[in-house]
Amino acid sequence: NAGVTQTPKFQVLKTGQSMTLQCAQDMNHEYMSWYRQDPGMGLRLIHYSVGAGITDQGEVPNGYNVSRSTTEDFPLRLLSAAPSQTSVYFCASSYRSVAGDTEAFFGQGTRLTVV
Amino acid sequence: KQEVTQIPAALSVPEGENLVLNCSFTDSAIYNLQWFRQDPGKGLTSLLLIQSSQREQTSGRLNASLDKSSGRSTLYIAASQPGDSATYLCAAPSISNTGKLIFGQGTTLQVKP
């Protein structure tokens, strides 16, 4: 029962470096999304996807890119890391039932520090 | 803009107390609501999903209710234990049904032995 798998769990970057946070789900969910969690700010949506090949911006998209070439994978790319991107990043996948209910499942998070 | 609010932000109770965590939301058109638990430095664990056809859902000592007409949900924890200490988050799906979740700020619960 893998669910939603995020890698890496921890990462330290230097300002200006780029990297990709990986997210994979094995539940065949149509929806996937990325959130960042900062003290006092709660969870904020970065980007989301409603299916393979379809992505859109969330509340705080600047400095991040996403793509979704398969149902299973939804990587988040930091183009040029900045200290303001120091945060904990969570990936989620969800499905919508016939009745319209949505249930979300989260990965264990990636703790990113940009120095 | 959809918003979710949780009150109180923090709560400290002695072991054994029954307690209620509150969650309010601005859009009564939501289908369902989900409660999560987050331990320090950890991810989000889903506790309860209250579906559109339900008014409440129970799991062990936890009971969550949903009243869409008043825009409120409550999470009731019976006979609290120190192991219940964590942050509890409620989340409502975006009414655009794109899989996005709107989170409250969370209630940090401390249960003292």
Work out the average pLDDT over A41-63. Answer: 94
Closest CA to A32 of A2, A1, A72: A72
- With an 8 Å Cβ cutoff, are B44 and A30 in contact? no
Residues of B with Cβ-Cβ distance to A48 under 8 angstroms: 98-100
Contacts of B9 (CB under 8 A, 6+ apart): B105, B106, B107, B108
Q: How many angstroms separate the CA atoms of B74 and B30, rounded?
A: 16
Give the mean pLDDT of A62-66.
97
Pure H helices in B1-113: none
Nearest to A109 among B43, B91, B105 (CB): B43
Say how far residue B26 (Cα) sits from the centre of its chain: 15
Report whether pLDDT(A2) > 80. no
On the question of pLDDT at A98 being above 90, the answer is: no
What value does the mean pLDDT of chain A take? 95
Residue A46 above 90 pLDDT? yes
Cα B11 to the center of its chain, rounded Å: 14
Q: What is the pLDDT at residue A29?
A: 95
Residue B99: list chain A partners with CB under 8 A. Answer: 29-33, 48-50, 92, 94, 96, 102, 104
Q: What is the distance between the alpha carbons of residues B40 and A88, in angstroms, rounded to a whole number?
A: 12
At A26-36, the pLDDT tens digits run: 999 999 999 99
DSSP state of A73: B
Tally of helices (H runs) and strands (E runs) in chain A: 0, 11
What is the Cα gyration radius of chain B?
14
**pLDDT tens digits, chain B, 113 residues: what are they?**
889 999 999 999 999 999 999 999 998 888 899 999 999 989 999 999 998 788 999 999 999 999 989 999 999 999 999 999 999 999 999 888 788 999 999 999 999 99
SS3 content of chain A, % helix, strand, coil (to 5): 5, 55, 40
Peptide bond into B8 cis (omega under 30): yes
